[in-house]
Amino acid sequence: MGLLSKKDAALIKDPLFDNNPVTIQVLGICSALAITAELEASIVMAIAVLFVLGIGNVLISLMRNIIPSKIRIIVQLVVVATLVIIVDLVLKAYAYELSKTLSVFVGLIITNCIIMGRFEAFALANSPWQSFLDGIGNAAGYGIILVMVGFFRELLGAGTLLGIPVLGDPIEKTGLYALGYENNGFMLLAPMALITLGIIIWAQRSRNKALIED
Amino acid sequence: MEHIELFLKSIFIDNMVFATFLGMCSYLAVSKKVSTAVGLGAAVIFVLTITVPLNWLLDQYILQPGALSWLGEEYAAYDLSFLSFILFIATIATMVQLVEIVVEKFLPSLYNSLGIFLPLIAVNCAILGGSLFMQSREIPTLGLSTVYGIGSGIGFFLAILTIAAIREKIRYSNVPPALRGLGITFIITGLMAIGFMSFGGMLTGDDEEAKEEKTAQVNTVIKNTNKELANNTKVNE
């Protein structure tokens, strides 16, 4: 890490695992789970949040000395909403099908608690460069969980990854299906996102005993 | 009839928490005790009932393509729908503030029980989600959008109340240490969501799209079985 000092590197690394915004801080679950039935949608969502949080953190940090504290929530909402509108318009222009799949969940990035949480807790008190790193780190931590859930749900539910069949053809009975394997269509339904995430939390906390609650 | 149908649909079938995962953050954070859960649930019903119809008016008369035609012919070509996120969230934030002031002034007892939750609600995804779903589902009238707001609020109330009750009881159970707290709450919510899916068949009477989808599914299953049968006969021969 020649480019970054140790402290800066920690800003990126911590939220990835030990202080993950989703599994530890319980933020940003709202707009995330519904779109993880496919890996592709999860990746796009992760990139969108990375963009919004990275840029938004810098903007808020640049304005931190001129925002009156009474109206800071409104200012934050306006910044996020503007960035989200950009993301939405770009998606509609270049990936129309995908923007249909994500539907209202792009708009719901606005109320994603991670973003407001980082603005409040970090960007309002730190320099732009550090805020940028913090934003990237937290968004990446969120993205990792999203991609993990999306990976398992698409693989086990449809036998594909990014729409490409990886386990063979379920109708022609090739690959794994020749051995009697069946897709678990239940994985594609909404409740399984919650249960998958519950299991990820379980695995993470069994590995790191310090995170156990109570 | 239409109203009752949408009401039941928004409570049970399209439940905010279990079907669309909206409002998850506050759902998880404020569900440790039943009494606080009731407070937040009531505040969500309250705010949704006000903001969804308000945003419906905004959508209908300002944002939709051609919505500005009431101003005059020359405005009919404008399409401001790209502004909907920012206007919706601004409406919600202002309304929450306004409601807070009014309630504090005239209903101090209600303010004491709801008060601390109202600011939280401005950034609750369930509230913005309610407005965005109202827009994307193209709910046709003001009355229906009000019903949709109330129904979604009650759905959220129901969800947060049940999980709070379960979490109060589960404290006495022997949960594996790593699952305690957040993990088990997720899994229980998942199981409850599976339960709520059983409401899905409640109102399929005139849902043409769902019917078509189902027929398509059945057709593919039949096709697959036929294919298998053909393969089997080939093997047998």
Q: pLDDT tens, A115-139?
A: 887 887 888 888 888 888 888 888 8
Chain-chain contact of B186 with A201 (C-beta, under 8 angstroms): yes
How many Å apart are CA A110 and CA A75, to the nearest integer? 12
Query: Which residue among A28, A73, A206 sits closest to B178, beta carbon to beta carbon?
Result: A206
Query: Which residue among A26, A73, A103 sits closest to B28, beta carbon to beta carbon?
Result: A26
Query: Which residue among B85, B119, B224 sits closest to A84, beta carbon to beta carbon?
Result: B85
Q: Measured between CA atoms, how close is B182 to chain A, in angstroms?
A: 8
How many Å apart are CA B168 and CA B166, to the nearest integer? 5
Chain-chain contact of A31 with B122 (C-beta, under 8 angstroms): no
Chain-chain contact of A191 with B191 (C-beta, under 8 angstroms): yes
Query: Which residue among A30, A82, A88 sits closest to B125, beta carbon to beta carbon?
Result: A30
Residue A37 domain-assigned (yes or no): yes
Q: Measured between CA atoms, how close is B109 to chain A, in angstroms?
A: 25
Residue A14 domain-assigned (yes or no): no
Query: What domain count does chain A have?
Result: 1
DSSP code of residue A165: E
Query: Which residue among B21, B185, B191 sits closest to A33, beta carbon to beta carbon?
Result: B21
DSSP code of residue A164: E
Segment A38-44 mean pLDDT:
84
Segment A80-95 mean pLDDT:
87
pLDDT value of residue A32? 65
Residue A75 domain-assigned (yes or no): yes
Q: Is the model more confident about A3 or about A207?
A: A207
- A199: domain range? 21-213
Residue A177 domain-assigned (yes or no): yes
How many Å apart are CA A138 and CA B13, to the nearest integer? 33
> For residue A161, what is the enclosing H or E element?
strand A160-161
Q: Measured between CA atoms, how close is A129 to chain B, in angstroms?
A: 26
pLDDT tens for chain B, residues 1 to 237: 788 888 888 888 888 888 877 878 778 877 788 887 887 888 888 888 888 888 888 888 888 777 777 777 777 777 777 788 888 888 888 888 887 788 788 877 777 766 566 666 766 778 888 888 888 888 888 888 899 999 999 999 999 899 989 988 888 888 887 778 788 888 888 888 888 888 877 765 555 555 556 556 666 666 666 666 666 655 555
Chain-chain contact of B136 with A73 (C-beta, under 8 angstroms): no
Within 8 A by CB and 6+ apart from A12, the residues are: A4, A133, A134, A136, A137, A140
What part of B 32-91 touches A (C-beta under 8 Å)? 82-86, 89-90
Chain-chain contact of A77 with B89 (C-beta, under 8 angstroms): yes
Does the pTM surpass 0.80? The reply is no
Chain-chain contact of B22 with A191 (C-beta, under 8 angstroms): no
The question of ipTM being above 0.85 is answered as no
Closest residue in chain A to residue B18, using alpha carbons only: A191
Which of A24, A26, A29, A30 is the mutation pick for testing B, counting most B CBs within 10 A?
A30
Residue A9 domain-assigned (yes or no): no
Residue A4 domain-assigned (yes or no): no
How many CA atoms lie less than 13 Å away from A5 in the CB half-sphere? 4
In terms of phi and psi (left: phi > 0; alpha: psi -120 to 50; beta: otherwise), the region of B138 is left
Chain-chain contact of A81 with B19 (C-beta, under 8 angstroms): no
Q: Does B132 touch chain A (CB under 8 A)?
A: yes
